[in-house]
Structure formats: C-alpha cells, structure tokens
Chain A
C-alpha cells in the first residue's frame, strides 16, 4: 500500500522524456561548436591515431542521428569522454569535484533557513511594526546583491581585514574544509534567505489572515498556538516548492561563488572547462547539474506529499 506515494514508482519513467531532452540538448550543444568535432573533442594538439579512434567511438563520420545513438550508447556505459585539460575521464573528474559543491549547497540551504524562518516569523507576526520594516528593507536590498561582489566584500572584511577566515581554496582535513566553506556558504545564504524570507513572510501573513486562523481564534486558541500549529505547517509547503524551483538558480550561484573563492567544485570545473575549451567537461557538468535538478525536484515532490495530505501526483 503506497497510497499517495505511488508516484515514486512511476515518476522516474515520466522523467525519461525530459532526460532524453537533456541528452539531446547537451549533444547538440557540443555538435554546434564550429570546427572538426574530433578536434573539438580531443583538443587542438592531438595525434592522427587518437583522432581516428575518437571518430570511430563517436561515429563522427556518420549522419547526425547515428552520431546521437553512439553518444547515447557511450553515455549508458558511463562514457562521457575525456578531459583534454586534465587528461582523465570526465566522469572520474566530476566525481572528485562533487564533494565541495554538495557541501556548499547543503550548508547554504541550511544556513539560509536558519536566517529566513525566524526573520519571516518575526516579520509576519509584527506586521507593520519596526521588526517587519527592518526585515522588509533587508529582503528588498538582499535580492539585489550580486553574489560575486558579496563574496569579495566578505573576503575583504573577514579574511583580509579581520583575518578570521581563509581567503580562498579548500582544505584537506574536515575542520580546514569547514573553515573554507564558511564564507562561500554565507554568500549564497545571504541572497537565498532574502528569497525565502520574502515568500515565507507572505505565506505566513496570509495564513494569519486566513479562515483557518480565524476559526482557531474563535475556539479560544492562543495566538502563539494559532501561529505554530496552524499557520507554519501551512506555510511550509509553498516554501519547499520555492526552494525546488530555485534550485537551478542556487546551482548557478555555486558556479559563481566557487569561482570567487577558488573552491574546487563542479562550478569551478565548468568555468575552467569553458575557458580551456574542454568541451567534454562542459557537457558532462551540464548534464550532471541537470539530472541533479530533476532529482531535487523529485525529492521536493515527495516532501510535499508528506507535508500536505491533499497533494496527489
């Protein structure tokens, strides 16, 4: 008896067309690059033997459609090509870079929730009073902070002037890594929390004005209980959906922030790949990011079903 969770079984199949679309898009992106595709894939300085080998592996002398099937076949075998810059398989390369990105996203989301939830609650319950005005100004300004600039400003303040934290890079030991992650996480969390606070505040205010709240008050339920037992649970679902919708934006943020802080994650790999014309790396990273986005949206749907008994997929 899976009940409302039955979609967990068939959703992966429903996602197949989108996965297919993602593979087509990434395939086309690389094929659109002007020049001999074999040289594009291997880099400018490559031997004739290597060129012949890659032509055979990807069917580069055959029509586009056939080439696409070669591409798919390679993909299914976990073959995403080789990095011309790092001289190793793209998949292996990506595997070494996942950890910093994953940590960055996870702790940034956690941190922004820690900032946003109390701020939104305070703002919604003191609507029209000074805590609310403060929160609204902070949010309005926060939405317009460029992350690359915010990152640099945080470096100047905390790393250069105060010398509390490292300027950039990533550490070896756990504590070292954690120290290196503080500023990048803070950079993302400051902008993300503006987005979350804004929507959470609106959801909470409409919850406080809702019929549900009125009915609870008419039963003599205290304002505190109304807020935490009726308003907050109902405001959570839209917030989770907002996070899921913004996951693409969040990943874009990690690309920028990893570049600012020279954090060796997938975002930095992507930007380096673009500059060194390492197309297989660009293709691979784009694909992994796309699949991650799908996965996170899937998780958000499961969470939504868990939190809201009305939702059915």
Chain B
C-alpha cells in the first residue's frame, strides 16, 4: 500500500539574475513499511527532494514549480503552514547527517524528546518522562534514565544519532526521512545504526526514505533504490534488479565505482605488478615501539591526563610497497603518519627513514624526509593555500627544493599538471575555482613536485564522491607504476584499501591489531576486531546482511 507518493516534483532556484532548475520531475511512491534508498553524489538534489516533501526548502529563493506530494491520498504540498506543522514530525519525521549540529547543545536530551511528545501528543509531565525513557531504551541506550538527563556532547557520534532517532520517534511518525544518517560515523557504528533502523521498521511498521551517497548502504538495507543525478531520478527499481541489471549508464558507473568486496574486485589487486618483498630488502621506514602522547590539559591545577594516541607501534615498510593503514576514527592511523614524517613530537620509541633515525639526528633525518617523502591530505580544499594559484604553489615547492634550474621550472610545472591529468589552463586558477577532485589532483601534483620516493596519503579520498574517488585511486595506481613509488595509504574505508594496497596494517586504540598481505588479512582475519570491521562494511551485494551481532558487542565499550 502506498503511503506517500511524489508526483513530478520540480524545484527551481530563482533570483534577479537567473532561474535554475535544481530538481526536475521527481516521481516515486513509498509503500507502507518500505525502505526506499535515495542514492546520488553531492549536489544531485537528494536532500533537496526530501526538504521539498516536508515543505522546508533551505532558502526563500527556492520554490516548488510543479508537481505534487500526496500523503495517504491527501495532497500536502499546498497546505498552509499551520497544517503543515502537524505533518512535520507527526506524519513525516526526519533525521540528519550530523547529529552534533542538529541536536540542541544546551537542552537535555530528555527535554528534547519531551518537546516532541508535548507537541504532537497529550502527555502529563510524568507520562512524558516515562515515554521518553521508553524511547531511549528502544533506540539502544544502555542507561536510558541517565541519557534522559544528559546533554548531546556527553555522547559519542553513534549515540547522538540514536538520540536524534529517539527525538524523531517521539512524534510517532509514519514515515522517517533519514538524510545521510551514518555518513559521519565509523563503519561498525554505521552498521549498528542501520540495524536499528531495520529493527524500527519491523517493530513500528515505519516507512523509511534513506538518503545516502553509499550504494553499499542502500543495497543492504533498502527494498527499492532510486538513483539521482543532477536533480533527476535517473532510475528507480527493486534493489536486486537495479544492482544486477542497471539500465541507466550513470547507475552502471556508480556500481562500477563502488569499491566493494566482490570477488572479481578482490582479484584486481593481485593483477597489478607487485614488487615481491624479499627478506634481504632493507625497509624504507622502520617504526619501533612508537609512543605518541598528547597532553590533554596544561593546567597546574588539573591532573595531566595524557592521551595516548599511539601506544607502542612497530612496523616496517618496504620500498615499492603500497601499504594501507586502516582503522576507525581515533585509532591513531593519522598520528602514525604524521609522526613518520616528523610533524608530531614523539614521546618514546624510534622512527627510521632509509637509515636516518628521526629520534637521533632529527635535523638531518628531517631534511632527508622533506626531500623524499610527500603527503597528500584529506580535505582537498583545506590542503591548498586559498590565496595562491596552482602555479604559485607548484613553483614554490620547486624553488624551495632547489633541484631544478630556475628556467626549467616552467616546463616542470606543465609536466606535473599533465602527470595528474590536469590541463595547463589550470595554472592561474585558485583553489576556490576548482572542484574537490581537481583540488586533490593539485595536491598530488604538489606532492610529486618533490620527486618523492614515498607518498603518504591521509584519507585523501574520504571527502570525495565515489566516481571521483575511483578516478583518484586509478591515478594512484598509474603513478605507482610510472614512478616506482612507495605509497602509504591511510583510510577508514577498507574496500578502497583492498583495491589499492598490497599489504595492510589494521589499527585500533593506538595499537596495531593485525598486519600482513591484504588478501591474507581480509580473507582470513586473525583478530576479532578485524573480522568485525570487515563484516561492518556496507556491501553492494544485497544478500549479505549488514554487520553482525558480534560487532555490536565489540563496540559496547565505546
């Protein structure tokens, strides 16, 4: 039975200068207790579509130009504000990507739930409290009474998302719109939240629209999938059909770009030329019992609770290797990378790069490191000086390195741009006129300008759309072959690591849990933690269940 149907909905942006269509002719039905996945890259209009449904367009310059939204046989599009307020929350609830910014920081969680209860139901103060605690139990708070009196900042990201779900449920909606609810979360937590949504659907008969950029997330949770691009729904189909026989070319690209754990993909890494490491090759990086601590407080009056980012890490990295360092947020993977390149002070232990010990002859080792090791960063916009042109950035590196004659710098800049697949016309442009993928390419060109032996890439594709992600990954593969680079690839996305890397290090709470050749670790993980991590990865195969119960248990302590 159809509960909500959207018919030919179009939204356009209008100001004095121009009129632009941002959403065109969106049509879909949502059935009772159905989960519909809405997939698309950033800017595809998927969030806008949902905002249009509940009549909360993000700007007054946006307006619905045509189409209709019908909720249980009644059009809600032209409803006046007062009537619409009874639809929002009560009929259609919504949860958002970033629970931290969507929860009121100065209001107790319990009060925020009660606000919804009072607004849409008639409760006495006492009943509301009982009901709120019941809701908190339902969404999985171990101590709901305490959670009731707590503030949002006292919880982890996953728990905040649960709180937001509880607040949405307080209005007892029939439909829940979940706008990228797990994007900001670690994979294992993501799996738990998705499981919670499935459970709620089962218990309450909730219909859910799940917006996401990750095809894996919808493949495992949704009944049907709608693919969006540039404001249009290009394809909408039952998920198995869509995944196995995509009709639209964009859907095909999206499926192909998804770094999933399919068997044929797994073998892809093996097809690449692998420099087989032999025992007599000297490691290029040697890390020995590395400890890095950050001082939490600097006050004389408070106990100095030092935070241990790395608690005794030892590893070896061989030249020509492509090694992935994986782990969830807070596992210490970025700290390890930064310590290796001498950007983070070391508390104890040793790091040696190609024989130069960083802890002994710091200046000498640093000079060598800066010449031979380059870094690529996560946020492509953040990593480039916003006031400098592409040319100025590359020129600066080349001049500082001083290895190329001044008159050869110009041609070297062109060469570098070509290497990362950018046109010469990019030279005078500043970062703000570049797209995320282009910025990341400039970042890579800047890293290559040093003529490095090693590239450390810190989550360098995490902020990019999947299709762009795939492009950057193939750029890395290409460069590796061309230049015999050693690549240290830090990522939370295990699927990408599997695709690119020959060996992998798994980190958790500042320690290495497991290390070895990628296929060994991923196919036969020795540690429970690794197994859980792998099980939590959203898979494009709809027949694999999301997460496992063991995952939930392992993370309870979090």
Contact = CB atoms under 8 A, between A and B. Distances in A.
A6 to B, nearest CB: 9
Contacts of B106: 233-234, 237, 307-310
Contacts of B96: 211, 214-215
Which 10 residue pairs of A and B lie closest in terms of their CB atoms, listed nearest first? A220-B89, A219-B89, A220-B88, A211-B101, A10-B301, A218-B94, A215-B102, A309-B151, A211-B102, A220-B85
A229 B111 CA distance: 11
B93 A218 contact: yes
Interface string A168-195: 0000000000000000000000000000
Contact of A221 (B54, B87, B119, B164): B119
A232 B337 CA distance: 43
Interface of A: 10, 13-14, 210-212, 214-222, 229-230, 233-234, 237, 307-310
A215 B96 CA distance: 8
A211 B116 CA distance: 17
Contact of B98 (A211, A216, A233, A234): A211
A310 B151 contact: yes
A90 B553 CA distance: 70
Given A220-B88, A309-B105, A215 B56 contact: no
Interface string B76-87: 000000000111
A220 B86 contact: yes
Nearest to B87: A220
Interface in B132-160: 151, 153
Contacts of B103: 212, 215
B410 interface: no
A292 to B, nearest CB: 24
B507 interface: no
24 contacts: A10-B301, A211-B98, A211-B101, A212-B101, A212-B102, A212-B104, A214-B58, A215-B102, A218-B54, A219-B88, A219-B94, A219-B116, A220-B87, A220-B88, A220-B119, A220-B120, A233-B107, A234-B104, A308-B106, A309-B106, A309-B151, A310-B105, A310-B106, A310-B151
B56 A229 contact: no
A229 B115 contact: yes
Given A215-B94, A216-B115, A219-B94, 19 more contacts: A14-B301, A212-B102, A214-B96, A214-B102, A215-B103, A218-B88, A218-B93, A218-B94, A219-B167, A219-B171, A220-B88, A220-B89, A220-B171, A222-B85, A229-B107, A229-B115, A307-B106, A309-B105, A309-B153
A301 to B, nearest CB: 14
A113 B116 CA distance: 32
Contacts, number: 82
Interface of B: 54, 56, 58, 85-90, 93-94, 96, 98, 101-107, 115-116, 119-120, 151, 153, 164, 167-168, 170-171, 299, 301
A214 B164 CA distance: 13
Nearest to B81: A223
A18 to B, nearest CB: 15
A255 B301 CA distance: 37
B414 to A, nearest CB: 44
A310 B120 CA distance: 29
Contact of B104 (A13, A14, A220, A230): A230
Contacts of B102: 211-212, 214-215
Nearest to B98: A211
Contacts of B120: 220
A150 B448 CA distance: 63
Contacts of A309: 105-106, 151, 153
A212 B104 CA distance: 6
A219 B153 contact: no
A273 B171 CA distance: 67
A307 B151 CA distance: 12
A221 B102 CA distance: 14
A215 B164 contact: yes
B16 to A, nearest CB: 14
B115 A221 contact: yes
Nearest to B151: A309
